[in-house]
Every structure is written in C-alpha cells, then in structure tokens.
Amino acid sequence: MHLIELRLISNTKSPGDLLVNIQEKTFEFLSSAKEDQEIRVSAYLDRPWPSVEKRYQELYISENVKFKVGAITPGSKTRKIYLPSEMLEGEQLVLVVKK
C-alpha cells in the first residue's frame, strides 16, 4: 500500500490534510495517468481521523503527480457516514479525480 495525501488547499500543506492508503496497482495507474482522464480511486484510512471533510481540492502523490478532486464518497461496512465526520481505521473513501 502507498500513502498519499488529500489536501484541502491545492499546492499547500495544511493541518486538515488527510493521509490515505491506496493499493500498489492504483498508485502505478495514477502515476502514469494522462491529462484530463477522470479516475475513480478507492482509498483506505490507515488510522482513525477525527475530521474527514466533504471537500478536498487535491490528491497529492508527488510534486509531479497531483489530481484535482471532483467528488468524495465515504464508505463503511458497519455504519452510514455523512461528511464532515469522524472516520475509523480501515474505512474507505471513493474519490473521483482528474489530472
């Protein structure tokens, strides 16, 4: 798994940024994605987060690989989640992003 960052403000680190895990093949796919290609990404929390926001501007992998976040859908097998909200370790976020 690879740890990536969801940023509240594009091109800037801030205290509300969120770290999430993605699978190896998802990381490789994102790293080689073309411009303007819309991609659906499943990301998992590696620890509990006290506040996951409704809107993040950027999915940050590295200085050269960033995506604009279009939509975020939270997921849990055991409870219904409405953002902004606390989320637990292992819960999923489905992101729609575009390079």
- pLDDT by residue (tens digit) across 56-85? 999 999 999 999 999 999 988 888 999 999
The SS3 of residue 80 is coil
Whether the ω angle into residue 50 lies within 30 degrees of 0, i.e. cis, is no
Identify the pLDDT of residue 30: 94
Report pLDDT digits (tens) over 78-99.
Answer: 889 999 999 999 999 999 999 9
41/31 Cα distance (integer angstroms): 12
Q: Which two tokens stand for residue 98?
A: 């575009």
What pTM, to 2 d.p., does this model score? Answer: 0.89
Identify the pLDDT of residue 98: 96
Report pLDDT digits (tens) over 24-45.
Answer: 999 999 999 989 899 999 999 9
Letter string b/e over residues 42-79, b meaning 16 or more CB atoms within 10 A of that residue's CB: ebebeeebeebeeebbbbbbeeeebbebeebebeeeee
- Sole residue written with tokens 């809107």: 55
H or E stretch including 30? Answer: helix 24-31
Identify the pLDDT of residue 48: 95
